[in-house]
Structure 1
Amino acid sequence: MMTAEVIETESHSSSFEAFVSYYHKPLLNYLERILHDPAKAEDIIQETFLKFLLQIKYKQTPDNVRAWLFRVATNLCRDYWRSAGYRREKQLLDQLPEQKDRCAQAAEFYERAETRMEMFQLLSELSEAHRKIIILRFYNDMKLQDIAAVMGCPVGTIKSRLFHALRYLKNRMEEEGRRGFG
């Protein structure tokens, strides 16, 4: 025989599972693009959802949940980049020799991967703020108001930064097109 408390707990559990499954993929895509480390992205997602649970348990549910989640994830990335652990990992990775993927045979796969790498290279040339705005807007399909909430600045600033970032990317793509990528 199930008690009302057990039924209520199961209901909350399944609601939270649905919530996590809804926001997990967009957060994962965003974090993988920012961190370039799928394992660390998963760690930060877990920490973000734990912070959300604490938020709704001890405080109140944020008005814009999606923006709140992305802002917390962004702040966790910032904390990670400032940590000594990150500096040690980066130092170790910089010392490793670069390895090439020899398994990729299909020309179409190679071209898509090459284009994606070229785009990541161009994105890496942007400032951190500009890169985040581009990723949130075009890879996560966020509205400018939500991006402003994530970034903690006015919508006008987001519009201006987006304009300048897109103009820079367009000019760089035109330059590379004339010279040929690579």
Structure 2
Amino acid sequence: MPVAPTTSKDIGATFATIQNSLRNYLRRQVDDPSIAEDLLQDVFVKALVTINANRTPANLTGWLYAVARTTVVDYYRSKRLDVTELDEDLPDTQQINDELLHRELANCLRPLTLQLPAIYRDTLLATDFGGQTMSSLAKEQGLSRSAIKSRASRARVMLKEKLLECCHVEQAGGIVTDYRPRSSSTCKVECA
């Protein structure tokens, strides 16, 4: 269980590790990059105020994203734009953006998977992409389930290496928050 930061120095270190991810989130929410930078600073100030008031959140990363969301809302409220109250049953736009991001990244994975050695490629395509169970694949190939499990695990490691070679991937809390193709990549597949 991570220890929550307790000082301004700790919050600064945590903020520095997710700063780019927060900046990308804010840039997707507002049109002007300079406004996104201002909002990012507002998030940091709010975090410092909270820490100095001895109200340190247990999950600082999640809390910083929540502060970023409310900071964007506050920004638009301050603009006094014509606001139409939305139906609460409408889907969450952040969730939709996250799903689009994951779908785009997933489109990169199949071509990268096809570059793996055959035994790993075929195992990964059958199980992770095709939905076949490891037990049924093992039976079909006359192998043990642990052999298929091992192949799938190795294939995922190889796929991750290929993906990270081709794209810069940002994560927060184990979840992909942004990615972009590497400009100096020797990757043979286009990820965007």
The structure with the largest alpha-carbon Rg is 2
TM over 0.5: no
More helix by share: 1
**TM-score, length of structure 1 as denominator length:** 0.43
More strand by share: 2
